[in-house]
Each structure stands twice: as C-alpha cells, then as structure tokens.
Amino acid sequence: MLDARDWFTEIDAKDGSAFSLKIKRKLHEEQTPFQKIEIYETETFGRLMVIDGCIMLSSRDNFLYHEMMTHPVLYSHPDPRRVWIIGGGDCGSLKEVLKHPEVETAIQIEIDEQVTRLAEQYFPELCEANGDPRARFEFQDGIQWVREATPDSVEVIIVDSTDPIGPAEGLFTEAFYRNCLRCLSRAGLLVQQSESPLFHLDLIYTMRAAMKAAGFREVHTLFFPQPVYPSGWWSATIACKAGLFPRVQDIQRQSFVTRYYNLAIHQAAFAAPDFFREAMARR
C-alpha cells in the first residue's frame, strides 16, 4: 500500500515483517481480468511492479531472481533445446533463457497478457529478447497448457509464478507436477520459485513432497538473495526426472554476461543450510 508520505509498503502480517520503498510517483494502475497491476517510480530501486499489493520486481534487483531462475537449471540439463516459461510475464526470465545458444525454442505461457505489455512499456530492458525468432508467446492458462501438451515435448520447464494464491494457486499442486513430468523429455527438469526459506518452510516442504509424489526422481532447492521479497532471501526448487547434470565447462566458458550468476554461485546455491535440511527431514 502507498501511504500519505509516499512510501510503498508490503506487509507480511503472518510473519510480522514489512518492506518499504520511497516512491517518486505512480506511473500506472489497472485492474485486469486476473489481477491489479501497479507500476511506480521509486527513489532508489528504479521502477517497481506490484501485483495485487505484492512486489513482483524492481529495476535494481530483478537480475538476482531472473538469473537464478534460469541459468542453474539450464546448465544442469545436458541439452536444453526446448524451454517453457510458465508465467514470467515481465519477460526477464525469457531474456536470460535466450542467452543460451543451445536453446532452440522458448515458449512463454502467461495468463495475463497485460503484464507483458506493461513490461514492454515500463521495463524495456527486460524485453530486449522478445523479438528473438526462438521466442514464442502464448497468453493462456499455464495449467491448461501443460495438461493438454504432448508427452516428451520439452526439456526444461521454468515456473516463474506469483505466490500460490489466485491464478497461481494451481501451479503448486501434485496434479500440475504430474502433468509437467509427462511433458518432459527423459532428462527433463522443472524449476519453480519456492518462496522464502526463512518464512515459508512449510510451503517448500509441501512443494517438494508433491513433486516426489508426482513421480520426480530427485528434488533440489537452491538459495539466493532477493531484497524486495519477504525476508530478503529467496529460493527455487528443481525437480528432476533423472537427475542433475551440471555442465561445469560450459558455465566456465559461457559466452554471455551475467551480473550475479557464475560457477561458484551455481555450486554454492545448492548448499542447504543445516536448519533447512533438518526442517525438511522433520516434516
């Protein structure tokens, strides 16, 4: 919410925390058929996208999320030729995916087209790859897309969704994971943002359990900083049809620029803290 002193604050009442940014001005506000979208200009974090009162991204720190949602999983697959991004309407993940020359097609399946149109207007730096001939846009329900897709039709699925409420709720279920498993090729990988390891251990445990129940052989959670999200510490969870196959040499000689991701970060991100491992074992 925006107060009278021009501070936007996202309150996490359940965990007794809040995060605020000083706002210069509101650039846009609209209610789509799916959600309320607001765009602000902040004093120190650049532009800010808010959906249904929750911060989605800022110009200043989105590279942390987008790089860690894409490069670890793509470099953990032996041949990621076909990639789906479920959600990801701001196109930041798509931009990072298309940095990989081995990717032949990248399909972004976003339920709310207006998220992409506003990103093109207010976050053009995230949309630089939208014209890449390998990119394809489908503005429809990602759950339905996966349910109706052909088996063995994709190597990597990236679920770049909002929190598990509203339109995104169905993306965190065993049924959805089971359909993803069917669509993935033999060494296929699914990665999904899995909230804060400090605040949302129950959700992460539920996700991991549902992925295993759906038939995935292994699950791995990786960790990274994200200042504008609750607790400032975030995670993504990878579900493996066969396992992880890190292409270390390819990471070392990557031909594109990243601001956060590198080989050392890749390796460190999969190191789970003791409290996390104990929490996953207890539940």
Known catalytic residues? 160
Cβ contact 178:214 at 8 Å: yes
Cβ contact 138:146 at 8 Å: no
- Nearest-angstrom CA–CA distance, 283 and 280: 6
Number of alpha carbons in the 13 Å side-chain half-sphere of residue 250 = 17
What Rg, from alpha-carbon coordinates, does the chain have? 18
Residues 6+ apart with CB under 8 A from 247: 75, 76, 78
Residue 87 to residues 7, 60, 194, 203, 210, Cα–Cα distance (Å): 28, 21, 14, 19, 20
Query: Across the strands, what pairs with 107?
Result: 84, 136
Residue count (the chain): 283
* Phi, psi (degrees; rounded to nearest 5) at 147: -60, -35
Amino acid (one-letter) located at 259: R
- Nearest-angstrom CA–CA distance, 161 and 82: 19
- Nearest-angstrom CA–CA distance, 168 and 8: 24
3 state SS for 71-130: HHHHCCCCCCCEEEEEECCCCHHHHHHCCCCCCCEEEEECCCHHHHHHHHHHCHHHHCCC
